[in-house]
A and B are shown apart, each in its own frame.
Chain A
Amino acid sequence: MLNEPVLNYDFPLDTSAAEGHWHQANRYSLWVGRQLKTDPPYEVIERHPQGAVRLPLRPRLMRLIPAGTPFRVTHLFAPYRASDADMIYIRADVEEGVYHTLLAATSKEVKEDRVVWFCPHCGHEMGREVFDARTQGLIAFWPFMLEKLRAFNASPERRICSTCGKQHPECYGFDAKLDQPNESAARAEW
């Protein structure tokens, strides 16, 4: 019996959460976050034909967000992401805090990823940008999203909903360490 693992793909939730970045493990990409129970909670919001659906904050849950379903996580990233990849979200409330895990895998079906803006007041789609996930993978989506949301934040015209006339709040990327002051304020807000 040897001691060296084949491909050291072992991710303790606590250290992965402390690292904070996405990991690639062969075809799967994964991310783990940990919040204090007193933090403003990460809440998954999905867009369905009936409207925006907020997942209840159960102490433990596993949700398959089907490919193509726009979703976002409050205080983690905004606007919405709609991927060709199924996204798996796992929430585990334990003694030391609340763990959030996101998992997704590349496959032949995964060609595109999208940044989508929906008016948070009336639900009207205000714009989308398409990312080539087939050649660039799933993790490279996040820098793409950051670039696109910054252009959106910088454009007062784009932030006005053509249907209800209300202003879309500013957006923020996945990695809080990269936040500009306005993004940091937006992250705290919604």
Chain B
Amino acid sequence: MFREITIDEPIEKIIDDWDFLADRVVAKFTMFRPVGQNIYGIRRRSISADGVIDPRKGNVSGAIELGPQGVIEVPHHPMHIHVTTAGTPHRVRHSFGYWHINDMDEIYLPLTNPEGEALGHYLVIMQTPTGSEGDTYAWYCEKCLTLLFERHHPTGELGMQGLFKCSELGVREYNADPRKRTCPECGYLNPLAYCWNSAKDTPEERAARAIW
């Protein structure tokens, strides 16, 4: 068999952080990190036929999207690639208590636990926004889907800086005012919102995370 001549030096000496899933590197992606043309998030979660279990948030298998026909279930199955297209409001139950509307496509790929390991790799990949592209956090009436409240972050202009702060401020603003959570069309009162980062939960938000 013909073998192309390659250099003998360890790859680590040529390319920094060449494998995003390496133990030494993966921790850099626990939040979201832009590298080149994409933004990457890698979560260590238990991923098996039983679902996707986050060590802090619990079962986060239930993902939903909001389209022209209403709310649909798009569970993130192990060993499935799911693409949430740009502009589609989406939410992962118990993971973030708002609808995220990304101007860029998002890819999810839950890789099952490697043999002998308790946690697999839950990959989130999205394109890096530029110019006027950004992220919106929104809340729709849980009963009739009327838009109640939203906050936008111009990620293409400001980068990831302030992205989580924007969602946090949006959550707090929304939770602080029952009028923002009350549907002007049907009068339904939405549950409290919560942030993506569960470490920031207030006791009330922690309770909300357990519910929806």
Contacts and interface: CB of A to CB of B under 8 A. Distances in A.
Interface of A: 1-7, 9-14, 16, 25-28, 30, 32, 40, 45, 48, 50-56, 58-64, 66-67, 74, 85-86, 88, 90, 92-95, 99, 101, 103, 105, 107-109, 120-123, 169, 188-190
Contacts of A9: 82-85
Contacts of A3: 72-73
A13 B79 contact: yes
Interface in B62-103: 65-74, 77, 79-86, 88
Contacts of B35: 64
B111 interface: yes
5 contacts: A25-B105, A50-B7, A61-B22, A88-B125, A122-B5
B10 to A, nearest CB: 9
Contact of A53 (B15, B22, B40, B74): B15
Contacts of A85: 37
B80 A60 contact: no
B4 A86 contact: no
A13 B82 CA distance: 10
Please classify how large the interface on chain B is, using the bins under 10, 10 to 19, 20 to 34, 35 or more.
Answer: 35 or more
Given A74-B4, A109-B37, 7 more contacts: A5-B72, A7-B85, A27-B86, A53-B6, A86-B38, A92-B111, A120-B4
B199 interface: no
Closest 3 pairs between A and B when the two form their complex, measured CB to CB: A6-B67, A9-B83, A120-B4
B63 to A, nearest CB: 11
B19 A90 contact: no
B114 A59 contact: yes
Contact of B86 (A10, A26, A88, A94): A26
Contacts of A64: 20, 35-36, 38, 40
Contact of A60 (B14, B37, B66, B121): B121
Nearest to B29: A62
A45 B83 contact: no
Given A2-B69, A3-B72, A10-B82, A55 B18 contact: yes
Given A7-B85, A11-B81, A62-B20, A190 B15 contact: no
A58 B23 CA distance: 12
A63 B70 CA distance: 37
Given A28-B105, A50-B14, A55-B11, A190 B4 contact: yes
